[in-house]
Each structure stands twice: as C-alpha cells, then as structure tokens.
Structure 1
Amino acid sequence: MRIIVSGGGTGGHIYPAMALIKRLQERDMIESVLYVGTEKGLESKIVTRENIPFKTIKISGFKRKLTLQNVKVLQMFFSSIGKSKKIIREFKPDVVVGTGGYVSSAVVYAAHTLKIPTVIHEQNTIAGITNKFLGHFVNKIVIAFKQAEDQFPEKQKIVFAGNPRAQEAAAIKKNDRLKDFKLDANKPTVLIFGGSRGATPINKAVIAALPDFAKADFQMMFVTGRVHYDGVIKQIDDKYLQARNIAILPYIDNMPEILPDLKLIVGRSGATSIAEITALGLPAIFIPSPYVTHDHQTVNANSVAENGAAKVIAESDLTADKLFNNVASIMNDQQVQAKMSQASKEIGVPDASDKLIAVLTGLINKS
C-alpha cells in the first residue's frame, strides 16, 4: 500500500505511528510511505532518524482564550490544508492515517476533501481536540481504550484495536539487560521513573525512601530523567549509591527492552506506557501527571486499576512511605504479582498493529 501517516507534538502521537509503519514494513505491505509533520516538532527528529520519508507543513494550535493570535492560527490552518492537498496529490496515497496533534488535523482533513480513505487513531481514554474534530470526517476511528468510545458520536465508525506500541513490546523477550546496570538478572526488580524528562515529586519520594529500598529483598532501578540526575545524586548518601540492589540512572535508552526483565513498573500513566506494560502483562503502580490536558493520565490509570492490573497514587498524595509500602506489598507477594500480571494481560492488545492494519486494508479494498 501507499500510505501517508501524520502525527506530532508528543511522543504519544509519534511512537504509535512509527510502530504501525514498522509493522507494515515487517509484513512487506508498504509500497511507499510518507510521514507529514512539522519542522519544529519532535517528529522531525524521530522520523528522520529512522530514515522514513518526511515532509512538513506549518501549523500551530488554537489558544484557549479568544485572542487575535487565533485569527492567525486559523489562517495558518487553511494554508496548511492547501499544502497538505499538494503533498497528497503528488504522493497519491491509498490511505491516510492521523495519530493526533495539530499537524494531523490539516493532513487528514485534506485527504477527506480529496476522497482518500482516512483513519484516526486515538491513544487515550479522553480524546484530543484534533481527533474529536476529525471524527466527523474520517472513515474509521480506531481507539486504544474502550472508554474513549463515549468521546465520539460517530459510533458506527469506531473500531477498538489497541495501541501499535503494544505489539512492538509484546515481541520483546527476556534478555538479561539488568546486568548492564550492575544488577542481578535473576532477582525480582522494580523500575521507578517519571517519564522521559523525569518528575520532581516522584524523584523526591524515591530519594526519601532509599533507606527502605536498600534493605529490601528485591532490586530497584530509579530513573531520574537527564535534567534531574546531577541534582538527585547530590542529595543521596554514598552508601545508597553503592547499594547492590539499587541502580540510579539518568535515562535508559530503548527502555522497552528491559520491561520483560521486570516484576513491577512505577511511573506515569501515558497511553504508550500502558500499551507496553499491558502487552507484557506487567503489574504497575501509576502516579498520573496532573499537568496534562483534561487530566487524561488519571483516567488512563484508573481504567487499568479497575481491572486489578495496577494501583494508583495521586501525585498530591505521594510520600516516601506510601511509595515504598505499595511497592513492597506487590514485590514481596508472588500471589499478588501473579494476579495483577494476569489482569494486565487480559486488557493488553499484543496484536494491536495487525488489528489497525486490518482496518486500513479493509478501507483500501472497499475503495
């Protein structure tokens, strides 16, 4: 197939798109692919690094307040639709997929006006403003959480398929990477991290809980985030830096690779993280970021906790004791681990990319 994919702004929009492209390549289903993003967006770095053809349009989001700037944004939107139409006519795609972010609004809407089959993918429980807008025009709305179905009035278009990142994670096998961090590959290990940039409240709680973690019968990996690492290290007593069961790191490249070696994940509840965790059947303790739009991470986290696959600690309630006690209650009880792991597997979608590809091929064949 010839496919245009568009999504940008955050990794949560970009990585599922990349996972879809990768799976299409693995199945030898791509004749040609083009990714449309913005020049300044994160996608420009991620996509070009993978040597995927990449073109840009200029677009930005509307301000939430009525301002003169929104007039300029509206003009930019209509201009970006024109640019998108030109790109689409030149590329001649069989299907166009949008994974969220302002850039996908222009690209997918332009494809709709040109009568090209269109699909959007919504990663979160609460749909983004772009996908809500596009839902009126696209042929199919693919969701990763069943709770998102209520966000769209176009029920007949909705298909539940999960998040393509899940299928990437499901393919990863246990690989003893813990040895790379001077930990015992055969000892139960928990990973605690606050996202790619780290999170100060989580870091503070972990630092205060280090005396308890140092005495635990399990191992703990603590990822601070690059920008926080030096400051965190200065606050930690040397005996904890040298503890055999503790590894403190600024960042882990290709973090999904270590997931099969873990017994528990503690961190934020972004859609990509949840897709990866549940695909592998890992128990989790979520500390949702309260700073995201519509507090969607809390809704994401609760949707997993309702199935018994995770516990949720609000950032405002986070303390060192609460963090350690919740971790220990899972890590020290194999029966609890097994129950949470089974619940996690039950809501995971390890074939998410293939399900999305089936939607695409169905539309192409129909057209």
Structure 2
Amino acid sequence: MDNPRILLAAGGTGGHVYPAIAIADALKAENSDTEILFVGTKDHMEWKAVPKAGYDIRNVWISGFHRRFTLKNVLFPVKLITSLVQSLKILAGYKPHVVVSCGGYVAGPVGWVAGKKGIPVVIQEQNSFPGVTNRLLAKFAVKIFTAFKEADRYLPEEKTKVTGNPTRATLTGANKDKALESFGFNADKPVLLVMGGSGGAKTINEAMKANIEQLHDKAELQIIWQCGARYYDELSTEIDTKKLENLRLSAFLENMAEAYAAADLVISRAGASSCSELMLTGKPSVLVPSPNVAGDHQTQNAKAMADAGASKLLEDNAMKETMTELVEQLIYDQENLQRMNQAALNLAKPEAAKLIAKEILEIAKSKL
C-alpha cells in the first residue's frame, strides 16, 4: 500500500507558512510514513523556513495582481500561465493524495489544478476574513478548517469546521526564570515584548522609537523589540542601545518560546498566527491591526480577542500618542493581567494541528 502523500501550498508570510509547517509536523507525528512536499515561491520566506523545518519545497512563479496600474501587472498573465503549467507538472510527478491550501498566492494555481484533476483539496484558513485565494478555492474543497467562526459566513458552511490555527508545538513550555536569564533580564521589572510580524511593522517601530525612553526609563520596563530585518539597520543606528541597558532590539527572534515566557505583556500586529500564538501562550496583549490588509481582517481578528477579554485593541493611527499610557496601565495591574491570561487560554485550541492532520490522513486513506 502507498504511503499517504500530502502536498502543502503556502506562501508569502509567516501567517500562511508556519501553520502549514505545524500541520506537516502533526502529519508526521500521526503517521511517520507520511510523505510531505511543499510548494512555495523562491522570493518569499517559505523558501528558507520550510527546508529549515526539514521538508522539501518546489517553486511556482506567481505573485499578486495589483489593484493600481503597475508594470508588475503586465507580467501577471505570463506568471499565471507559467504557474499553472508548473503546478500541473508538480502534481503529475508527485501524485498527492491530498492538496492542502494554507493560503498565499502560490496556493491558487496549485489548488485550482488539483481541483480540476479531482485531487481532494483541503483548506486551512487562518483569518476571520478569508484570503482571496482560499475563497476562490472553496468550491473545490472537500473540507475547510477555520480558526474563527466569523470566517464561516464567507465560505460554504457545510464544509467548514472551526479547529483553531495550527501552532508550533515548540512555543510553550519554556521556564520563565531561564527565559529572563537568556535575555539578561531580572524578575524585578516587568517585560514588554513588541513584535511586528515576520516582516516588521513600520507604525509599531515608529511608535516604539518615539516612546522608547519613556517606556524604558519612566515606566522602568525591560523590553524585547523585534523590529524586522528591513528596519533593523536604521533603528540600531538611531537608538542608543548602550544607554538603554534593558532593551533587546533584534531583527528576528529565533527563541520565540523564551520571548513569550519572559513577557508580561505583548504588543503585536493582529495577524492570525500572532493571535493564535498569544492564545496558546496565554499572553495578555495590545493588538494593533494593520490597516493595509485584505478585508481589514486584522481588525476582525483583534476584535474577536478583545471581545473575549484577552486583548486590548489599539488603532494603528493612534498608537504613537496613546501606547505608553495603555502599556503602563496594563503591565502593572496583576489582577487584570491574570484575567487576560485566562481569557487568552480559553480561546486557545492547542490540538488544532493534530485534529487537522487526522482528518487529512482520513481523506488520504480513501485515495490510497
């Protein structure tokens, strides 16, 4: 009998790629004979993240269509045709039993060709407002796993199942004292963790730059600030990190488990993966939705968490003026932090990856 062969298509951002990796890990944990192949694009983060996680990846040449006129749109029809031919070749060569779309442009041509060829398509949608790729592929899907029940209204409801977002199993379990030590911090002052997603976030970085001395000196906080690779060089020259001895500025955090364990409060964008990680780790948070995303889905993600009492929502354009007051108000209120911690944990679905993997393998079994 064949081993189950699963193809995962995900690309563009950590919000699509890390859930796909979490599903792949869970598939292997459920059945070690499962064969796994990823499809992504060479110029995005999956090209490094997927091999680093131990999986093979194939390239499909595709990008988004820009709403404003741009020269990049001239290439789009060429890219689309090329991506469909590449997808056909990959599917013909690999012969997957199931194709899993975790979103991003790359999942479009792969999922569409799979649907047309009668290969079962499974969708994992991370956001409360589904991305355009997954909305287009929904008609082909045999099953759609969602993280927020709010997503159901945009998808065929008879196919959807709310499982939560698959998260990396390595995020929990770090010891707080050891985590503080790893950052050179002590237990006397609260720790603020600031993240802008895998690419960094301009508004968050600008607000932090404007308020860093007040947060560090006046509020007496220890600060872990992940600013993103594209902003790191500029910020590290503009900010005197030697003078701010309790600031840890980095382009990217390799040790996320320790960062979460050390933090008392997190400031973050409201991407689906970030929200799911905050739920899983039970971290009280201030969510700053990006205004530059499809369907304003980050605001919807943040509202779902704020309504549950796990987070406070801070609007992007108000951040610079109001963040310090809000952070101080929250980070020194232990009772409130505990309530937010419990609310976040109540929203968490730590079994998401396992549940999704089991159902994918059941679908694959019918094709073996």
The TM-score with structure 2 as length reference comes to 0.88
Distance 1:317 1:185 in 2: 31
Distance 2:71 2:327 in 1: 50
Whether the 8 Å CA contact 2:173–2:257 is kept in 1: the answer is no
Residue 88 of structure 1: SS of its match in structure 2?
helix
Whether the 8 Å contact between 2:172 and 2:257 is mirrored in structure 1 is no
Partner of 1:313: 314
Equivalent residue number for residue 189 of structure 1: 191
Query: How far apart in 2 are the matches of 1:164 and 1:127?
Result: 16
Partner of 1:285: helix, strand, or coil? strand
Post-superposition CA distance 1:310-354 (Å, at most 9, x none)? 00111111235x212211222111110111111111111111101
DSSP-derived class of the 1:139 partner:
strand
The residue type paired with residue 270 of structure 1 is G
Which residue matches 1:177? Answer: 179
Are 1:241 and 1:248, in contact at CA under 8 Å, matched by a contact in 2?
A: no
Partner of 1:273: 274
Match of 2:205 among 203, 206, 209: 203
Give the whole-Å Cα distance in 2 for the aligned partners of 1:7 and 1:198: 20
Asked if the contact 1:175–1:258 (Cα under 8 Å) also holds between the matched residues in 2, the reply is no
* Partner amino acid, structure 1, of 2:204: I
Q: What residue in structure 2 maps to residue 136 of structure 1?
A: 139
In structure 1, the partner of 2:128 is 125
CA distance in 1, matches of 2:285, 2:216: 17
Who is 1:347 aligned against?
Answer: 347
Q: 1:91 aligned to 2:94? A: yes
What is the Cα deviation at residue 155 of structure 1?
0.9
Q: Any conservation in 2 of the 1:213–1:324 contact (CA below 8 Å)?
A: no
Q: Does 1:34 align with 2:60?
A: no
Residue 104 (structure 1) aligned with residue 114 (structure 2): no
In 2: Cα distance, 1:187 partner to 1:88 partner: 54
Residue 361 of structure 2 is matched in structure 1 by 361
Shift of 1:238: 7.0
Compare 88-97 and 166-175 and name the one that shifted more: 166-175
Query: How far has the Cα of 1:177 moved from its partner?
Result: 2.6
Query: Aligned pair in 2 of structure 1 residues 187, 28: CA closer, same or farther (>3 Å)?
Result: farther
Contact 1:142–1:159 (CA under 8 A) maintained in structure 2? yes
Q: Which runs of 5+ in 2 are unaligned?
A: none
d(CA) in 2 for partners of 1:326 and 1:66? 40
Partner of 1:114: 117
Contact 2:224 2:259 in 1 (8 A): no
Partner of 2:19: 16
| Aligned counterparts of 1:93 and 1:41: Cα–Cα separation in 2 | 24
Separation in structure 1 between the aligned mates of residue 76 and residue 247 of structure 2, nearest angstrom = 49
Aligned length: 363
Superposed CA RMSD = 2.7
Structure 2 residue 26 is the aligned partner of structure 1 residue 2:
no
Work out which of the residue numbers 216, 225, 233 in structure 1 matches 2:219: 216
The letter for the 1-side match of 2:224 is M
User: In terms of mean alpha carbon deviation, does 37-46 or 172-181 score higher?
Assistant: 172-181
Contact 1:185 1:261 in 2 (8 A): no
- Does the 8 A contact of 1:212 with 1:324 survive in 2? yes
Instruction: Please tell me whether the aligned partners of residues 166 and 351 of structure 1 are also in contact (alpha carbons under 8 angstroms).
Output: no
- Give 1:237-316 correspondences, 5 Å limit: 240-242=243-245, 245-316=246-317
Report the CA distance between 1:65 and its aligned residue: 5.7
Q: Deviations over 1:50-102 (max 9, x none)?
A: 34222222233334368997686345434433432332232222211011112
Q: 1:7 to 1:229 in 2, by over 3 A?
A: closer
TM-score norm. by structure 1 comes to: 0.89
Structure 1 residue ranges without an equivalent (≥5): none
